[in-house]
Chains A and B, each alone.
Chain A
Amino acid sequence: MSVRIIIERAGPLCTIQDHGREGLLAHGISASGPMDRAAHRLAGALAGAAGEAGVELTRAGIALRVEQGRLRIGWAGGAFTVAINGEGQVWPGGATLAAGDRLSVTPGPRGNYGYLRFGPMLDLPMVMGSLSTSTRARLGGVEGRALAAGDVLGFVGEERAALSPSPIALQEGPIRFVWGLHAENFAADVRQRFVEATFRVTPMMDRMGVRLADEAGVFAGASILSLVSDPILPGDIQILGDGTPIVLMRDHQPTGGYPRIGTVISADLDRFAQMRAGDPVAFEPVSVEHAHRLLRSSLS
């Protein structure tokens, strides 16, 4: 019997995300994909997910009801509050739900993004090799838009055995970065202050980018004329004309001409994505080789 769920409540900008639509930057299309990749993977393991796609939910959470059939759902990412039919559950975790059961995710103490993954595969059309939603480009997911109350999601295929992997270890400390394309365009003392100062995450954050407050005025007066456009990747730290630093995220513009002082390393981008408005953030430069060692150890 086919399996169906209905979204009963969706916070703003809850989207469908899989590994992303990589390889299309030359067509002006950024890859999208989960803001917190490790959490997306963990939720998949907890669900015994046969497919790659799940729901990325935002701070306000989401609620759904199983309309037909049974399926296992896994959840992870940040720390949210989760209940099945009103009964509290452990986060991260997973459970099998049957027709009529309700799952509700509400705000919790930590993080911006949570993930729901499902045993069977989401039955949605592939767009350029991916189900990921880019609301910016209006591609993928459900009609290229965020999920809304009333949306019905269908599933196909059989779920796999759920795993119980170890949760993601909480990391603290500065966000590490590699000096960027235009680092040399910034005066030596500006670069020095950049790595010494503490910035603050602002509420102006979404899947395209996260704006930081530069309370120490590191970039005040360090204005750099706009540059020829170069390709952008997630993690690029761009300084706008008014001195505002912005870290570009998964739905980034594919090219841009603002100066980039650095790029957050892959191993720290998930953690950065989960930092909340008001959180302090400091940056620490590392070598590319060091970033690769961290990447290898995170995969082993």
Chain B
Amino acid sequence: MSGMDDSLWRRPHIMPLGDSALLVRFGTSLDDEANQATLTLAARLDAEPIFGVLEVVPSLVSVLLRYDPLQISPGHLAGEIALRLGQGNEAREPHVHDIAVVFDGVDLAEVAAALGLSENDFIAQHNAAPLRVLTTGFAPGFVYCGLHSEALVLPRRTQVRPSVPVGSVLFAAGQTAITATEVPTGWNVIGSTSFRNFVPQNDPPTRLQAGDLVRFVVAR
């Protein structure tokens, strides 16, 4: 679709989420362009804040804007958002993080077999290209990185594990996720990392930001 005007190609839906937030949604399923459009708008809102907006939250394919209804009406806010959609993309240079992973997860063998690969080939393909931090969500500092090529797409597991430790490296739905707290998960556990994304005493409390690039490397 290169050459098409992005603002026409990705005209988002702007809809209320309750009485104090609007959601700007660029798609109803996860794809790279919707995520890019989401990050671009979030960066724009950061660079040119709107009076009355309390919080901007980029997610996989949508941006949430919490607003103070006593300071701005949703109609006025939607207009201000629209003004920031049509503009060109002056994306910041993404931060690049090398994250060392010990590929020893309990599901690694099963994942490799399901993809028809040896464990070493899976690890090589998994680490071949840098991934983008698509969003942080689900739990403090829990990052979704993607998207892997279609050859590396597996569904989630049917059973949820009640708890996996901090620093677990998870794989499902064409993405790799890193846990920053102990969480339950239905994703495949492929490894672990000493990288800690969430430190409550730090400001900001997380190190990875949506839009950053992550290069996964084998820990030595």
Contact = CB atoms under 8 A, between A and B. Distances in A.
A27 B204 contact: yes
A24 B60 CA distance: 16
For B23, B59, B62, B66, which residue has the most chain A Cβ atoms within 10 angstroms? B59
Mostly, the B contact residues are loop
Interface string B122-163: 000000000000011111111000000000000000000000
A90 B122 CA distance: 67
Interface stretch (B1-9, B14-22, B100-108): B14-22
B195 interface: no
Given A25-B55, A29-B205, A295-B69, A233 B17 contact: yes
B76 to A, nearest CB: 12
B43 interface: no
Interface string A240-257: 000000000000011100
A236 to B, nearest CB: 7
Nearest to A183: B15
Contacts of A296: 69-70
A27 B141 contact: yes
Contact of B137 (A181, A254, A265): A254
B19 A28 contact: no
Given A233-B18, A292-B19, A28 B64 contact: no
A230 B62 contact: yes
A229 B23 CA distance: 12
A29 B55 contact: no
Interface in A108-137: 127-128, 137
A46 B19 CA distance: 29
Given A22-B54, A264-B18, A265-B18, A137 B29 contact: no
B60 A228 contact: yes
Given A24-B205, A128-B205, A288-B74, A233 B21 contact: yes
B198 A27 contact: yes
A28 B28 CA distance: 21
Interface string B51-71: 000111111111010100110
A291 to B, nearest CB: 4
Contact of B16 (A24, A137, A178, A299): A178
B54 to A, nearest CB: 7
Contacts of A265: 18-19
B49 interface: no
Contact of B18 (A27, A28, A178, A229): A178
Given A28-B138, A137-B140, A254-B137, 18 more contacts: A28-B140, A28-B180, A137-B139, A178-B19, A229-B59, A229-B135, A230-B25, A231-B64, A231-B137, A233-B18, A233-B20, A236-B18, A253-B139, A255-B59, A264-B18, A266-B19, A291-B18, A291-B19
18 contacts: A26-B56, A26-B136, A26-B210, A27-B204, A28-B206, A181-B17, A181-B25, A228-B30, A231-B17, A235-B18, A236-B17, A255-B137, A263-B16, A266-B18, A288-B19, A291-B18, A291-B19, A296-B70
Of all A-B residue pairs in the complex, the 8 with the closest CB atoms, nearest first, are A255-B137, A263-B18, A291-B19, A231-B64, A25-B57, A27-B206, A292-B69, A28-B140
Interface of B: 15-21, 23, 25, 27-30, 54-62, 64, 66, 69-70, 73-74, 135-142, 180-181, 198, 200, 203-206, 210
